[in-house]
Each structure stands twice: as structure tokens, then as C-alpha cells.
Chain A
Amino acid sequence: MRILVCVKRVPATGGQISLTADARDIDTRYLGFTISPHEECAVEEAVRIVETHGGTSVVLTLGPASAVDQLRDAMAIGIERAVLLETDGSDWDPGATASAIVDAIRGLEAADGPFDVILFGNESADSGGFQVGIRVADALDRPIVSGAKGLAIDGGSATVRRQAAGGWEEFDIELPAVVSVREGINLPRYPSVPGRLRAKKKDIEHVTPERRPLGPELIRLSVPVEQSASVEILGTGPEAAPRVVEILREIGVL
């Protein structure tokens, strides 16, 4: 099996978000970076497919030079190759992102043969466009199932399971195929120290992508105004219990 997984570098925001002065980006001066939990699960799924069925796995991202960190994180848990479509770090719309990924996939497949499965996150953590995977699948004329919380590969086909009203729905698809994954499909492993060291030494292939903007075109960001609750401190430590229970009765949950 040849598996490709696509991830996006995003800031690991904590309790609140601050914006840059031009309001076009998150102020990341004091932040670390990560990928979406959905994508972490997609990376884990790629590693598991190769562990079970044999083959090779490749991780790809479109982002700034510093996104090699996220590629190395993926290699640290067992992805073999990494490709960076290097940008200046500005915001690429989902259409432009998808076309650049399609170009890269065509190049990789021309060199080494088709990918049996291409994995995406269900949506990116930051922009949440909910479309890059579908645009890529459409351009490659491959079936795609979104929102996968279960993936079982059997020879040339796969069964994909996702949550639906009242339970689960299952799709049987032929490979090659595209699957976008939701967190919960698996529990990603933590990288081992030798895994990290190995990943550090690996080469990363750099490609300069062609940018074909499609839209939507970012104008500015804003932090939504939420009415700030005024908190009533009921007490400190276990002595607060009687007051808590009083409140539970007052609001009718007891």
C-alpha cells in the first residue's frame, strides 16, 4: 500500500486568541505550533495501514519553512517520507491549497506510482474550510468519504464508517480513494525518543508550489464578543459543598 497524508501547521492557541495589528493573522509570538487533532489521527491511521498491510507512507504539507517541524512530528511516529510545499506563510485559500496539493500528488505518483489511500483531516483547525480533501478527490477523480471514524482496508477496497443521526453509516469504496478523518478514529501514539532522533536526520523534499487563488479571500479576522459571565464564587475547598448543593436545588437540576 502507498499512503499519503496531508497536514497543516497551525498555532496552538490556549485560553484566548490575540490578533496581529493588521488583524489578518493570529499573533503567534508566544505560541507553539501543532496540527489539527483530526490530522494527528490521519497520520496515525497512515502508520497503522502500513504496519498492517505493508508499503510506504508519505506526509505532505503546504506551509512556511518552519512547517518541517510538523512533518518531523509525523515521521517521528513512523511516516517514512515528507514533502514540504513551501510558501511565505501567508494565507492560501482552500482552492489554491487543493490545486497545489493536486500538482504535488501528480508529481509523486508519476515518479513512484499511485497512492492507494490519500488521507486528510475532516477540516483544518484554523480556517476550517471543509473542502480541501473533496477538491483534491474531485480533481483526481477518486471517491472520497469525509468524516471517517473507522477505516478497514481489505485488498482493493475499503469500508469507511462515520457517525450519523442515531448511529453509524458505512460506505464500501474501491481503492484508490481519499478519506478525510475525524478525531476518535484511533488514539495516536506518542513518538519515542529514537523515533524523534530518526526523524530529525531524515531529508525533507522541498517543492515550490504554484499559487492559483480561488477564494474566499481573507479581508480581516476578529475575535467574537461574548458576554462575559460574572462569576459567583461559592467558596474554597470542600466547605463549599452545602452552598453548591443549595444552588443545584435552586436551579432545578436536583
Chain B
Amino acid sequence: MSGILALVEHDAGRPDRLSLEALALAGDLAGRLGVGVEAVVIGAGAEAVAGSLGAYGVSTAHVVRHDRLDAYAPMAWASALGGVIAAGGYDAVITAGSERGTEVLAHVAARTGLPLAANVVGVDLGERWTVTRQRWAGSLLEEAWLDGTPHLLTVAPHGVPASEPDPAAQPAAVQQVTPELTDADMRVRVARTVPAATDRISLTDAKVVVGGGRGIGSSEGFAMLEELATLLGGAIGVSRVATSLGWRPHAEQIGQTGARIAPDLYIACGISGAIQHIVGCKSAKRILVINKDPEAPIFGRATYAVVGDVHAIVPAITAEIRRTS
């Protein structure tokens, strides 16, 4: 037997966006190898999701049911996925490069002693597979040999287009699986969830983000950015310098170790444009740079720019918005 196996995470009865990206890469590989795509779906609501996966090219969906899997438990998920892998003889096992997809596959890799390539954006088939994967959060690409039966890989978030549903496709055959879970598998499981405070526009959903870095000079300096953000209905985002100096909370940091944003407009004020910052904001449709140093690397990423002192320019913009509205 052979085939590509994908772990499908889901939310509200539907496969989530990153899992559709994983299914897209799975479908591409399966097409080139002339094999089928199978899926593993775990947890409450798995049944409904499994039925819909035929539209995304899945021939068989393994629905994992177990009363100990009501709450997410990474090692138990790895056991469940491992069980399907052991029975199947797959060419590759693919997950989304999500927090869960990544950790579950890393557990599988650790237990089987297989190599794992994280954040893959492309695969070349051959006697030995080569993968192209992201390093430095995507600022650098690595080509690497990936061996193993099966090949284990996660797909870089937004690194490949998501799979599009084909309404005419055959529904997936649903296979029920009851994994064997040990107490050891249950050592790590979600005990509680705590909803986030939702009084603010979330950075990752905002249409406009007003960003500040070292050039803002102090935590007080951010008052002018907050005023502009309020006028534009936007959120505040910052560079790591602003968080490590304690000016702003880390939740506002954009970049490799912060949030990835994709607004219509990102206004980057007093930010130089280090690659670790850029990887977090490069999906912005437009970037307006305000910086006193015209040689700063961020100008190479800008759609629009104003050269000069942010402390003079931002208040002038705010005043002009007020004057003309």
C-alpha cells in the first residue's frame, strides 16, 4: 500500500485554513506519485469534517474516536496518528505547520526515529526526496534531503495556496479508528481554556496597523501612534526594540517571534526594517514608512514613504485628518 496521509485540524465542523494548505501539498504529491490522499481527523466533530473531505481530494478519512480525546492531548494525538501510519505504509505524512500539527508530528518523528522537515514549501521527488523549507521564519530557504518511510513534513503556514473544494468529487470513505491510549499519553492535555479579552481590535485581523519602533523614543511617544490608530480604526504593532525596552507589551510585537500581520495598510514609524521584523509584515498590502534615515532597509519594502522626524510627521497627519473630515 502507498499514499499520502494528512492530519486535518478542524474548527466548527470545517477543516481549518492551514490544514487545507497541507491537503493542497498532499494532493500535489499524490498526483505526481500516482497515489491517493488519506486523512486523519481527531476529536469532537471529526465525523462531520471527514464527510466533507472528498471535495479536497481525500479518498479515505480515518475518524479517530476515543473518550479520552475530548480535550486536546498532543501525545495522545501522536499515538492516534501513529496507529494509522503503522497500519498504512504511506509515502509521506503531512500536517499543517500549526502549533498542534507541528508538535504532533514531532512526537511521531521522535517515537519512530524518523527525520522531520518543518515548514516545507516544496518537494522534489526522486530516489531521495528533496524539500525546500523555510529557515529564519521564511527570510531564508533551505534545500535539504529528506529520507524516511514515511517522509514526515509540515507545511509552512501560507507557504502554499490552500486546496479548493471540488463539489463534484466523490465523498471520502470514512474509517472509524479507536486508538490505544496509555496513561503516559494523557500526561499532557488541555485542562482549561481561557478566552482572550476581546475589547481591542486584534492585530492579526486589523485593516490598518500603526507600528512603532526605537524611533518612537519612549513609551509616552506611543500616545501619538494610538491617536492615529484610533482615527484609522486600526491596531498598534511594534518592533522588538519597543517590547524589550518595556515600552509596549509583547502581544503587540510583529515579526519572527511575534505576530504575522496582513492589513491593507501598515504604517511603520521609526522602524529600520530588520528581516526578523519584515517577515511579520510582508503580507501587508501596502506599507507607509515614516523614518528619518532614507537609507534604512525598510524603504526597500515601502509602497509610500515620508522622510523625517516621526514626532513632527505623525501629529501633522493626525491634525490634517481632523482638519479635513
Contact A184 B317 (CB under 8 A): no
**Nearest chain A CB to B127 CB, angstrom units:** 14
Contact at B240–A170, with CB atoms within 8 Å?
Answer: no
How far, in angstroms, from A231 to B131 measured CA to CA in the complex? 34
- Taking a contact as CB atoms under 8 Å apart, the answer to whether A131 and B110 are in contact is yes
Min CB gap B254→A, angstroms = 12
Which single member of A128, A165, A217, A237 contacts B308 (CB below 8 Å)?
A237
Q: B-facing mask of A4-22, CB < 8 A → 1, else 0?
A: 0000000001111100000
Tell me whether A143 and B302 are in contact (CB under 8 A). no
Closest chain-B Cβ to A27's Cβ sits at a distance in Å of: 12
A219 and B130 contact, Cβ closer than 8 Å, known pairs A15-B272, A169-B190: yes
Complex contact A232–B303 (CB within 8 A): yes
In the complex, the answer to whether B194 meets A232 with C-beta atoms within 8 Å is no
With contacts A232-B304, A253-B232 taken as known, whether A145 is within 8 angstroms of B282 at the C-beta atoms is no
Supposing A215-B145, A219-B143, A229-B287 touch, asked if A247 and B251 sit within 8 A by C-beta, the answer is no
8 Å CB contact of B232 from A37, A134, A217, A254: A254
Residues of A with C-beta under 8 A to B140 = 17, 26, 221-224
Contact A131 B118 (CB under 8 A): yes
C-beta contact mask, A27-40 vs B, less than 8 Å → 1, else 0?
A: 00000000011100
Contacts of B240 in A (CB 8 A): 37
Pick from A14, A170, A216, A241: contact of B275, CB under 8 Å: A14
Q: Are A221 and B319 in contact (CB under 8 A)?
A: no
Nearest to B324 among chain A residues (CB) is A245
Query: Which B residue's beta carbon lies closest to that of A142?
Result: B187
Distance between B7 CB and nearest chain A CB, rounded to angstroms: 15
**Interface of chain B residues 106 through 125 with chain A (CB within 8 A):** 106-107, 109-111, 113-119
Cβ-based interface call for B223 (8 A):
no
A168–B319 Cα gap in the complex (Å)? 39
Known contacts A13-B136, A216-B145; A253/B196 CB under 8 A: no
The CA-CA distance from A172 to B187 in the complex, in Å, is 8
CB of A224 within 8 A of CB of B317, answer: no
**Neighbouring B residues of A145 by C-beta, 8 Å:** 188
Q: How many residues of B contact A (CB 8 A)?
A: 100
Nearest B-chain residue to A238, judged by Cβ:
B316
Partner of B117, one of A38, A216, A253: A216
State the CA gap A20–B132 with chains docked (Å).
19
User: Quick one: given A167-B195, A215-B145, are A15 and B274 in contact (CB under 8 Å)?
Assistant: yes
Within 8 A of B (CB), among A220-254: 220-224, 226, 228-229, 231-242, 244-245, 247-248, 251-254
- A residues less than 8 Å from B154 (CB atoms): 130
**Contact A14–B297 (Cβ < 8 Å):** yes
Residue of A nearest to B264 (CB): A253
Q: Given A134-B103, A224-B140, A229-B300, answer yes or no on A170-B191 (Cβ-Cβ < 8 Å).
A: yes
Return chain B residues, CB-CB under 8 Å to A125: 136, 256
Q: Would you call B265 and A251 a contact (CB within 8 A)?
A: yes
Check B164 for interface membership: any CB of A closer than 8 A: no
B286 — nearest CB in chain A belongs to which residue? A251
Docked complex Cα distance between A95 and B106 (Å): 11
A15, A167, A219: residue with the most chain B Cβ atoms closer than 10 Å = A15
Residues 129 to 150 of chain B near chain A (Cβ within 8 Å) = 130-131, 133-148
Per-residue contact bits, chain B 267-301, to A (CB 8 Å; 1 contact, 0 not): 00000111110000010001111000000110111
Please tell me if A200 contacts chain B, counting CB pairs below 8 Å.
no
B313 engages A241 (CB within 8 Å): yes
- Nearest chain B residue, comparing its CB with the CB of A168: B194
Q: Which of chain A's residues have a CB closer than 8 A to the CB of B286?
A: 251
Contact status A167-B194, CB under 8 Å: yes
A214 at the interface (CB under 8 A from B): yes
In the complex, A196 has a CB within 8 A of chain B: no
Complex A-B: 20 CB contacts under 8 Å: A98-B110, A127-B142, A129-B118, A165-B11, A167-B193, A167-B196, A173-B188, A184-B250, A184-B258, A187-B250, A216-B133, A216-B145, A218-B144, A229-B303, A233-B305, A235-B306, A235-B307, A239-B316, A240-B308, A253-B207
Given A37-B257, A93-B115, A169-B194, 17 more contacts at CB 8 Å? Answer: A13-B275, A14-B272, A15-B296, A16-B297, A147-B99, A164-B99, A187-B250, A188-B244, A215-B115, A216-B115, A221-B142, A226-B282, A234-B304, A244-B288, A244-B304, A251-B264, A253-B208
Residues on A facing B (Cβ under 8 Å): 13-17, 26, 36-38, 93-95, 98, 123, 125-131, 134-135, 137-139, 141, 143-147, 159, 161-162, 164-174, 182-184, 187-188, 214-224, 226, 228-229, 231-242, 244-245, 247-248, 251-254
Interface set of B (CB-CB < 8 Å, partner A)? 11, 72, 74-75, 97, 99, 102-103, 106-107, 109-111, 113-119, 130-131, 133-148, 154, 184, 187-196, 207-208, 231-232, 234, 240, 243-244, 246, 250-251, 253, 256-258, 264-265, 272-276, 282, 286-289, 296-297, 299-309, 312-313, 315-317, 319-321, 324-325
* 7 tightest Cβ-Cβ pairs between the two chains A and B: A15-B297, A184-B250, A215-B115, A238-B316, A138-B110, A216-B144, A241-B316
